[in-house]
Structure formats: C-alpha cells, structure tokens
Amino acid sequence: MHDPRIDQLATQLVRYSTSVKRGDNVLIDAYDIPEAVPIALIRAIRKAGAQPFVNLHSARIGRELLKGGTEKQYDSLAKYSMHQMKQMDAFIALRGSHNITENADVPSKDMALAMKKMRAVQNYRVNKTRWCVLRWPHPAMAQQAGMSTEAFEDFFFEVCLLNYKKLVPAMKRLESLMSKTNKVHIKGNGTDLKFSMKGLKAIACGGTHNIPDGECFSAPVKNSVEGVISYNAPTIYQGISFDDIQLTFEKGKIVKATANNNKAINKILDSDAGARFIGEFAIGFNPKIKEPMRDILFDEKIAGSFHFTPGQAYEGIADNGNRSQVHWDMVCIQRPDYGGGEIWFDNKLIRKSGKFIPKNLTQLNY
C-alpha cells in the first residue's frame, strides 16, 4: 500500500526545500531507499516543470569501492561527478541505511582519500545548487532510537513534515542576534567555554537544506576558543561510535580530546591541521526532536541543544577560514533532563536549560 506521506514529503522537498522552478535540472542522489521515494520525487519534479535525474547507490557497494580506492580512481570519479553537478540547478539527497556502521572497517587512510578527492564536488554542490539532504527511516534507525519500526516512521514523518515556515520569523531574529554577537560564553556540566563570533554571519535553517531541520549556525573566530566542553549526546563518525567526548581548547586548538575511544578520536582529529579547530557553532531547536539517536541529521536539531563542530567551516557562508576534510558535528543537550546549561551572548543570558530567554525568541522553545 502506498503511503500518502511520501507524496507529501516529495512535494515539500521540491516546492519548499529546493524551490524547483520550470526548466531546472534536479539531481536525486539516493542511498538504499525504497523505490517509491525517488518515483514520488520524479513525479513532483516533473509537475513543477523541471527535469529529474537519478543516481542510485548502495552502502555495501560503496564500502567495497572505498576499501582500496586509488588516487587515479578518485580523480576520474571527481571529474565526472563535477561535470554532472555543473549541469544541475537543484540537488536532493536521500540517505537510507540498513547498517549505520557499514563503513566501520574501512581503513581511515581510504576514508581520508575519498573525502579529500570529493571535497571540491561537495563544495560546488553546497555553494552553487539549491540542495537538500534527507535521512530515510530504516529499521536500523528505529533500532538506534530504541523504537519500533512503525513508531519511528510516524516520528520521522511528523518531524520532516513540520511546518518550518512557522518557525521562520523567530529563526530570523536569532540569526540577526547571532550575527551581531561578539562574545559567547557557554556553561554547563563539565563545560566552560568562551569564544568570539565577531564579524561572522549566522544562518538560520528552516527546512531548506536539511530535513529534518531547525538550527541556526555560525562559526567562532578560529583562534578565539578557550576552555573545555563536554558533549552528552552519543555520536558516530566514519562508522565509529563515540560517547562522553570532552575537548579542551587553547587559542582555538583542541589540545586534549578524550572519549570512550581515545585512540580513534585523536586519529580523526589528526587527519589534517584544520581538524583540531572549530568550523561551526550552531543552536538546535526542532521542537519534535528530543532524544539523540546517533544520527547527526536528527541529533544536531535536538530541542535545547547546541553543536560545536571540529573541522571544515562552511566556505563562503559562515566562514572562519578553517579548512579540513573533517566536519564532525558533536552535540551537547542543555535541557534540565540532560543536566541544564547556559548560553550567554555579550554578557546577556540568551538560553537557560535549553529554553530561550529573550521574548522575541520564545517561539523557538520546545
């Protein structure tokens, strides 16, 4: 039986998220997704008077290609992927996963080579197309979230079909406040962090680039970060699970990193010079997402959370100049049930225990 919510979501992705216009070329890039989803998207794209194109991938085949990939192979892949991307006006990525740790045994040097060689294509896509990335709810994700498959699917559609437009006025006010902010001070359990955002623009995200959405991101001045941060949401990066991450900063650099797997975290942070500096600071406020599930597209939007991201900054957008093949969104939840915490902008308390204090931002509270 066809789920009508798929058509609803396809329409939202085409009409609202990527604003597809008559004559556009639109690339659907799908990993391990039920056929009904790309089909619904093809129909919605054609209805908008645009041309659909489809790349279909499999995580298991992708893993095989990653293991032992060569410079020569990636030079060719990057060349034709870039050629394809340059024909596109919009890009919709659908990411399903039967096993989220599929790449856990891919050697880190193979992973690093792939990320390095394909970075230019990703940068072009981010900067030159109207793009949107969406997770798809497989039973593996339901298991991660500790939910039944049906309950997780209901949660997924509720979150993804949220009326993002309604959040926009308060989001824009937060964007404007963050863009004007100089000094930031974050306090919480095991966290006492200070940095500057002077001269850096903030961007509010309301359902146009990631689904689910609900965050406002910027970046710290690269060398300004001082202090310590303890993250309380579990995370997965390059197929490896991490818990209890704590980072210590001096002059912007991570001088100490600990977690349940010290060796693995330090190996990732030693990928290149930029991996030990922060590329993004963002505040999450999706009212429907409360608990972490080791899926960053959901976890970085958790109501009452913020993320502080080692690695690559968003080039040309909220750009502090940091460059790295790593971009690792690590999440800290500050709601009372997660130990509380405070965010201060220029000596003014902006959020306490996960709730915004200024009257004109309370619309973003869960």
Q: Each residue of 249-280: pLDDT tens digit?
A: 999 999 999 999 999 999 999 999 999 999 99
d(Cα 229, Cα 167) in Å, to the nearest integer?
A: 29
Q: Is residue 300's pLDDT more than 90?
A: yes
Kindly list the distances between the CA atom of residue 310 and the CA atoms of 25, 237, 259, 279, in Å, as whole numbers in the listed order: 34, 12, 15, 6
- DSSP character at residue 17: I
How high is the pLDDT of residue 210?
A: 81
Query: What confidence tier does 141 reach under pLDDT thresholds 50, 70, 90?
Result: confident
**Collapsing DSSP states into helix, strand and coil, what is residue 188?**
strand
Q: Once rounded to an integer, what is the mean pLDDT over residues 208-231?
A: 94
d(Cα 135, Cα 339) in Å, to the nearest integer?
A: 29
Query: What confidence tier does 207 reach under pLDDT thresholds 50, 70, 90?
Result: confident
Residue 235's CB: how many other CB atoms inside 10 A?
23
Under 8 Å between Cβ of 242 and 236? yes
> What does pTM read for this prediction?
0.80
306's enclosing H/E stretch is strand 305-310
Q: Once rounded to an integer, what is the mean pLDDT over residues 213-221?
A: 96
Q: Is residue 317's pLDDT more than 90?
A: no
Q: Is residue 206's pLDDT more than 90?
A: no
Q: Once rounded to an integer, what is the mean pLDDT over residues 301-314?
A: 96
Q: Is residue 288's pLDDT more than 90?
A: yes
Show me where the domains of the chain are located.
4-160, 166-364
Under 8 Å between Cβ of 154 and 115? no
99-109 residue pLDDT tens: 888 888 999 89
Q: Once rounded to an integer, what is the mean pLDDT over residues 117-139?
A: 91
How high is the pLDDT of residue 97?
A: 85
Q: Is residue 1's pLDDT more than 80?
A: no
171-202 residue pLDDT tens: 999 999 999 999 999 999 999 999 999 999 99
* Mean pLDDT, all residues of the chain: 94
The domain made up of 4-160 has a fold known as Thermophilic metalloprotease-like (3.40.1830)
Q: Give the pairing type, strands 25-31 and 90-95.
A: parallel
Give the whole-number percent of the chain exceeding pLDDT 70: 100
Residue 153: φ, ψ to 5°: -60, -40
Query: What confidence tier does 146 reach under pLDDT thresholds 50, 70, 90?
Result: confident
